[in-house]
Amino acid sequence: MSARVHREDRGLAAVARVRGVRETDSRIGLQHVLAEEAALATRLTGLSATLESAGVDAVSTTSALVAQRTALANVGVLAREARTELASAEVVSAEARTRWGADRARLAAVELLLERRALRRRTEAGRREAREADDLAAQRWSRGRSEDTP
């Protein structure tokens, strides 16, 4: 949108500014949610890798075996919680992406309307200039004809 707004478009320009702010806010929100989702995915990957790489020593005491089993069970609980949080984050990010798309479309619609109005004014101004130029040419031609005629 140009810095100079036609006086007829002031209200629509204000709507465009508000929608621009909303679009920016929703884009920032989407980026934040996507970052959280990525962090949760990384955490889940790490917990899953810990569970997959856990092995049992060939010779171990009962207490060490119970402690290792308890630790792995806790990692499993954390992995399950991370999986649940990741599923929730995916839902939130999908909603945020939808909201951002809608805000972006609304802003584009207002900007398109402003552009069309500006184009219409430029077209009308061009037509007025052409009409004036035709009138001036006709007057000049008419004067030339009247000067040539005795």
127-149 pLDDT tens trace: 999 999 999 988 888 888 777 66
For range 64-83, the mean pLDDT: 90
Nearest-angstrom CA–CA distance, 136 and 131: 9
Q: What is the pLDDT of residue 93?
A: 97
Nearest-angstrom CA–CA distance, 47 and 60: 24
Which range among 41-50, 57-66, 76-85, 104-113 shows the weakest confidence by mean pLDDT? 57-66
More confident residue, 77 or 60: 77
Nearest-angstrom CA–CA distance, 76 and 12: 55
For range 42-56, the mean pLDDT: 89
**The two structure tokens encoding residue 140:** 């000049």
Q: pTM higher than 0.85, yes or no?
A: no
Q: What is the pLDDT of residue 34?
A: 97
- Burial of 145 from C-beta contacts in 10 A (0-12 / 13-18 / 19+): exposed
